[in-house]
Amino acid sequence: MEELKAYIESGILELYVLGDVTPQEKAEVEAMAAKHPSIKAELEEIGKSLELYAEANEVEPADALRDRVLNSLVVNLADDRTFSAKEKEKPEANVIRFERAKTSNFFKYAFAACLALLVTSVIALISVYNRLQDSQHLVASLTTQNQQMANTVSLKENEITVLRDPSFKVLKLNGTPKFAQSKLTIAWSPAKKQVWIDMTSANMPANDKQHQYQLWALVGGKPVDLGVFNADTTAKGMKEMKEIASADAFAVTLEKEGGSPTPTMDQMVVLGKF
């Protein structure tokens, strides 16, 4: 079967129909056609195709050209006797005439079916893409929720750890006269050098974007920076600050964003001593 396919695709059959083959090739094609029905069928299809192409591209000759050709035939008719006997015995061109192929709507229906399949495929792809986008949004939302839950669990674990650890001391910082309503609770473990502030119970005036609260530890009368934080009313749980091993008191001042190397005394909000 592979050899027949290769023979059909070689182009020899088209040349045979056109009469452009050697006598040896002609004999070979005819032998193959007699032996293999598929070769014979292919020859018929090629002949039909050539007929259809010729009919679709035929050109009506001009009247002057027709007269010229006919006159030429008449003039040269007397010269036929000059042909040799061999030339007279020359076989006719090996062109096989086949019946005209019937008109078929196969390609029209096939094109319509392919177009319908393409439209259906595009619609299906759009639907799958939309579902994929929805799934990605859902995964992103769940990831955010899981991260928030993990943060909440972490804060609760820290809070429980601080409350259960006997090394922590709890100190409530009360508001100064200028900020009488303010208050803040801190937990400090001298042994672990850890300082936590309780954001849940904090009552501090909201700070703007240009300012932050700064926690200080007073050690031997000198202020030590323990970090900055914001009075976020939505913040919950415990917030860890910088470490310190010893302190006489703790205070919070309102400073420029990022903190200050020294506290602004007239902006002291809360203060507490042990």
pLDDT digits (tens, 9 = 90+) for 38-91: 888 888 888 888 777 777 766 666 666 666 656 665 555 555 555 444 454 555
Cβ neighbours of residue 97 closer than 8 Å, sequence gap 6 or more: 47
Per the listing, tokens 């300082």 go with 195
Q: Answer for the pair 61, 8: CB distance below 8 angstroms, yes or no.
A: no
Cβ neighbours of residue 204 closer than 8 Å, sequence gap 6 or more: 182, 184, 213, 231, 252, 269, 270
Lowest mean pLDDT among 25-39, 93-107, 252-266: 93-107
Closest CA to 195 of 224, 175, 174: 224
Domain covering 169-273 assigned CATH 3.10.50 in the classification: no
What's the CA gap between 252 and 199, in Å, rounded?
Answer: 14
Residue 193 has pLDDT above 90, yes or no: yes
Q: Which helix (H) or strand (E) holds 139?
A: helix 106-164
| Count of residues making up the chain | 274
What's the CA gap between 36 and 166, in Å, rounded?
Answer: 101
Sign of CA dihedral 3, 5, 6, 7: positive
Q: Answer for the pair 182, 171: CB distance below 8 angstroms, yes or no.
A: no
Q: Answer for the pair 213, 204: CB distance below 8 angstroms, yes or no.
A: yes
Q: What token pair was written down for 190?
A: 């001298």
Q: Answer for the pair 198, 217: CB distance below 8 angstroms, yes or no.
A: no
Residue 223 has pLDDT above 70, yes or no: yes
Q: Answer for the pair 188, 194: CB distance below 8 angstroms, yes or no.
A: yes
High-pLDDT (> 70) share of the chain, %: 73
What's the CA gap between 196 and 143, in Å, rounded?
Answer: 28
Q: How many CA atoms lie within 13 A of 220 on its CB side?
A: 1
Range among 53-57, 104-108, 130-134, 190-194 with highest mean pLDDT value: 190-194
Amino acid in the structure at residue 144: T
**Of residues 48 and 161, which shows the higher confidence score?**
48
CB atoms within 10 A of CB 244: 18
